[in-house]
Amino acid sequence: MTGAVVQSRHGVTVIGGGLVTPEDLALALRVAPTLVAADGGADRAFALGMPPDWVIGDLDSISDSARGRMRPDRVLHISEQDSTDFSKCLTRIDAPFVVAVGFAGLRLDHTLAALTTLIRAEHPRVILLASDDIAFPAPRRLTLPLMPGTRVSLYPMGPARGTSSGLEWPIDGIEFSPAGRVGTSNRANGLVSLQIEGPMLILLPRDCLSTALNALGLGAA
């Protein structure tokens, strides 16, 4: 971690400038009540009636109006261009977990960059909330109590493999890679247990947010 400026004993919501509905933000803030805006995400937060607690980024997207509404000591300008504003936020947050909204939709390149950031080790407990899904990095071991028929997608972000129980199509013996075999649109038979080696994203329906947080040992409501 580069140097945390946002510290919380609870979860932190990070909002970007992509698609965010009032329901998205309300769901995120219910489990992660501190709100950090990634640069132009501040405009999105103000538009939704929720002033951010912090703004972090290179500040090339935030409007003068939004910046003027922030306390100067709660705006962190990071000028380097080797990382995204999302990554700049994650490396300045010290919290049990982060829920990210506004990083999917609108621009595909931004969505791909956000998914790449998820898989890095800068902040291992990050869940991205999208319009229909949640996405998070797979830990080495995970047990998910899911209803039968729940969609479970596994997307490799590099060479990966694993074993499973409770999936309709087991993953044992499969060599996954972005340019080869991927594991989208699997289904749960009930309790799902996974052991994963390598960089893998788990994607579940968005109503599984609390289930995922609890399975990751984060105990959110």
Mind listing the pLDDT tens digit for each residue in 82-101? 889 999 999 999 999 999 99
> Tens of pLDDT along 129-155?
998 999 999 999 999 999 999 999 999
Structural domains of the chain, ranges and CATH numbers in brackets: 6-131 (3.40.50.10240), 141-215 (2.60.120.320)
* Closest residue by Cα to residue 207 from 143, 101, 132, 148: 132
pTM of this prediction? 0.92
Residue 151 burial by CB count (10 A; 0-12/13-18/19+): exposed, middle or buried?
A: middle
The gap from C-alpha 141 to its chain's centroid, in whole angstroms, comes to 19
The gap from C-alpha 203 to its chain's centroid, in whole angstroms, comes to 11
